[in-house]
Amino acid sequence: MMKKQVIRRAALFGLMSLAMMLGLCAFAPTTTQAYSPVAALDRQQFLVKSLLAAPANAPLAAVTGPTQSHDPANPGSDVYAYSSYSVNTYNIWHMQGLALYPTAVTYLVPTGTVPTGGFPVIAVSPGKFLDSTSNYDQLLRHFTLKGYITLFIDTDTGIVDCQHSRMAGEFLDGIKKTINNKLSGKASNPPKVAWWGHSMGAKVEALAARMTTNSAYIAPTAIIANNFSNNNGGVCSDDAIAGANTIPASIWYTLIKGDNDTVAGSDPQNLYNAIPQVTHRQLITVVSYTDINLNADHYAPMTNYNILVGGTLDALDWWLYWKVAVGAFNYHFKGGSDIWAYGSQRTNGGIDSSGRQILHQVS
């Protein structure tokens, strides 16, 4: 699954990301609070400036920056609890009309001692046309080496398939069957599960969240929806926004959109508005930085180049999308702090060489 050239590029971009430290994934404060950032502001400035000092067209190997020391309060760093993992893929067969078709589930399991109580589980639902693990391989690797069993569940049967409610049911089915049949003795018991979705996959998860009131399924503790795209019209008639008020209020829901996302449009905002019953919800807008070539577009969470739509691994992945996700999941499952993910406790990311605060906006 992990191509050598992707890993090499990830390592190079990882060096660039280390230079960002807390910079590019800081939160814009929504309330006044007295929290002091883990890193001193002058160190943040130094780390951010070390990246900005590199020319935009510099070879990636030239963008080095200082290495990061171990910081247990910084869940988006490249400090990993595990050094390797196993990868397995199998099919769950479903009937559609008179035909059988597969839902492919790839599961990554950290190699090493299983923690007391088992590993928590992150289920990933990919975007349309992006249902190959290669498009998210470094994200899956990052989650797994942080100490999570990571499931990649492909419910899309082809180009014309937009039966999203059916996909939602199969997504839930894939989670339960994989935990019960493939991960005995490794996955946490009772299951500790969170979801990460992108584009159409975020829509599938929104539809699936409604179904978790059925005790036959495993409900997530938290959902992180990146660039949620409702994509209605034509034969894609399943609406994840209408009826979203039936999503259980207990699920912690984070919606993330990019300020240059021309695909999803207002969908993330509309879903955010449609779930007032959710006790803990937030909408994060990722801010692009054109002067250092960080583009928060629809494909920003992808961690591999896709010839059809683009998408690259860059500092926004390491220091925003990944940091928010791991911070949220650690908070629920590993006793972490909510400073990186939830609530009114926000920090800014320091100041760049032009005196500008590096922020993203939180509703």
Residue 193 CA to residue 220 CA, distance in Å, equals: 5
User: pLDDT at position 1, please?
Assistant: 45
Q: What sign does the dihedral 8-313-108-331 (CA atoms) show? A: positive
Confidence of residue 35 (pLDDT cuts 50, 70, 90): very low
- Reference 227, options 196, 251, 252; nearest CA is 196
| For residues 290-294, average pLDDT | 71
pTM of the model: 0.76
Cβ(342)–Cβ(328) under 8 Å?
yes
The residue length of the chain stands at 363
User: pLDDT at position 185, please?
Assistant: 93
Q: pLDDT digit string (tens) for 118-153?
A: 999 999 999 887 778 878 888 898 899 999 999 999
User: pLDDT at position 192, please?
Assistant: 96
- Reference 263, options 315, 214, 298, 218; nearest CA is 298
Residue 94 CA to residue 101 CA, distance in Å, equals: 6
Peptide bond into 220 cis (omega under 30): no
Other C-beta atoms closer than 10 Å to the C-beta of 131 total: 20
Which residue did the predictor score with more confidence, 16 or 162? 162
Q: At residue 234, does pLDDT exceed 60?
A: no
| Among 27-41, 90-104, 175-189, the range of highest mean pLDDT | 175-189
Cα-atom radius of gyration of the chain, to the nearest Å? 19
Which residue did the predictor score with more confidence, 286 or 97? 286
Q: Which two tokens stand for residue 36?
A: 């002091």
User: pLDDT at position 304, please?
Assistant: 65
Residue 66 CA to residue 284 CA, distance in Å, equals: 28
Q: pLDDT digit string (tens) for 77-116?
A: 667 888 899 999 999 988 777 778 888 999 999 999 999 9
User: pLDDT at position 79, please?
Assistant: 73
Percent of the chain with pLDDT over 70: 65
| Mean of pLDDT over the chain | 73
Please name the amino acid found at residue 279. T
Residue 34 CA to residue 28 CA, distance in Å, equals: 14
Which residue did the predictor score with more confidence, 357 or 311? 311
User: pLDDT at position 353, please?
Assistant: 44
Q: Which two tokens stand for residue 310?
A: 């683009």
- Reference 21, options 362, 354, 347, 355; nearest CA is 347
Which residue did the predictor score with more confidence, 108 or 345? 108
Cβ(151)–Cβ(121) under 8 Å?
yes
CA distances from 57 to 292, 299, 308, 312 (A): 9, 21, 23, 15
Cβ(306)–Cβ(130) under 8 Å?
yes
Bridge partner list, 91: 104
Cβ(263)–Cβ(199) under 8 Å?
yes
Percent of the chain with pLDDT over 90: 37
